[in-house]
Amino acid sequence: MSFDIDVSVRRGESLIAARFATGPGATVLFGPSGVGKTSILQMVAGLLRPESGHVRVDGETLFDGAARIDVPPEQRRIGYVFQEPRLFPHMRVGANLRYGMRQAGGDRDGVVAMLGIGHLLDRWPRTLSGGEARRVAIGRALLSGPRVLLLDEPLSSLDRGRRGEILDALVAVRDTTGIPILMVTHDPDEAERIATAIVRL
Secondary structure tally for the chain: helices H, strands E: 6, 10
The answer as to whether 165 is a domain residue is: yes
Sheet holding 181-185, edge to edge: 78-81, 148-152, 181-185, 26-30, 197-200
Q: Which domain holds residue 96?
A: 23-47+76-200
The answer as to whether 12 is a domain residue is: no
Give the CATH number, domain containing residue 93. 3.40.50.300
Domain count within the chain: 1
* Terminal Cα-to-Cα distance of the chain (whole angstroms): 21
The answer as to whether 63 is a domain residue is: no
The H or E element spanning position 183 is: strand 181-185
The answer as to whether 68 is a domain residue is: no
When the pLDDT of each residue in the chain is averaged and rounded to a whole number, the result is 91
Among 179, 183, 197, 121, which Cα is nearest to 155's?
183
Q: Mind listing the pLDDT tens digit for each residue in 131-171?
A: 999 999 999 999 988 999 999 998 887 887 788 888 988 99
Whole-model pTM: value is: 0.90
The answer as to whether 60 is a domain residue is: no
Q: Mind listing the pLDDT tens digit for each residue in 16-28?
A: 999 999 988 999 9
How far is residue 146's CA from residue 28's CA, in Å, rounded to a whole number?
18
The answer as to whether 67 is a domain residue is: no
The answer as to whether 53 is a domain residue is: no
Q: Does the pLDDT of residue 102 top 70, yes or no?
A: no
The answer as to whether 173 is a domain residue is: yes
**Percent with pLDDT over 70 in the chain:** 97
